[in-house]
């Protein structure tokens, strides 16, 4: 007796509208304390290497909550680099992806020309971002869409 493969029963995928195909994802979890210690130890040198001027100003404006804001933005940059598949280095620097809040308060990337080019090279047209944090940890997930 011949049995049919379960895969033969799966209908074909429906047409997916442009701009909704997932090309890549990246995720990162960061220690708030680790980021705070790095900033306190290395000061402006560290801030300028990792964060845009806009990010630094925004985070510092949040008083004690600045540490979770810095950690969440660090996680976003790491998640972006993981979605690229290249990590941090010759193709992507931390300051190539700044994190702002849009008019509704949702996190969004401001990408340098280099980061935009790397995104396009992977067949993506945009990067979605979600952030979360507790007093101890910050997390980010990035989704590249075609």
Q: Could you tell me the two tokens for 32?
A: 């708030």
- Mean pLDDT of all residues in 77-105: 92
pTM: 0.85
Radius of gyration of the chain (CA): 19
CA distance 128 to 108: 7
Q: Rounded mean pLDDT of 96-109?
A: 95
47 pLDDT higher than 70: yes
pLDDT of 7 reads 55
Instruction: Print the SS3 string covering 69-128.
Output: HHHHHHHHHHHHHHHHCCCCCCCCCHHHEEEEECCCCCEEEEECHHHHHHHHHCCCCEEE
Mean pLDDT calculated for residue range 77-104: 92
pLDDT score of 63 more than 90: yes
> What is the per-residue pLDDT for 86?
84
Residue 113 scores a pLDDT above 80? yes
Domains of the chain with bracketed CATH: 20-145 (3.90.470.20)
Grouping H, G, I as helix, E, B as strand and the rest as coil, residue 55 is helix
Which token pair is 7? Answer: 């895969």
For 6-13, what is the mean pLDDT? 63
Q: What's the pLDDT score for residue 143? A: 96
């Amino acid at each position: 007796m011949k049995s049919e493969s379960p895969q033969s029963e799966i209908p074909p995928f429906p047409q997916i509208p442009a701009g909704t195909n997932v090309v890549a994802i990246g995720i990162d979890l960061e220690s708030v304390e680790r980021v705070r210690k790095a900033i306190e130890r290395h000061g402006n040198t560290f801030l300028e290497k990792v964060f845009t001027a806009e990010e630094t100003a925004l985070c510092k404006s949040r008083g004690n909550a600045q540490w979770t804001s810095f950690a969440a933005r660090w996680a976003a940059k790491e998640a972006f680099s993981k979605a690229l598949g290249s990590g941090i280095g010759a193709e992507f620097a931390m300051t190539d992806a700044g994190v702002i809040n849009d008019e509704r308060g949702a996190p969004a990337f401001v990408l340098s020309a280099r980061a935009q080019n790397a995104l396009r090279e992977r067949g993506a047209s945009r990067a979605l971002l979600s952030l979360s944090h507790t007093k101890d940890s910050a997390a980010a997930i990035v989704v590249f869409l075609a």
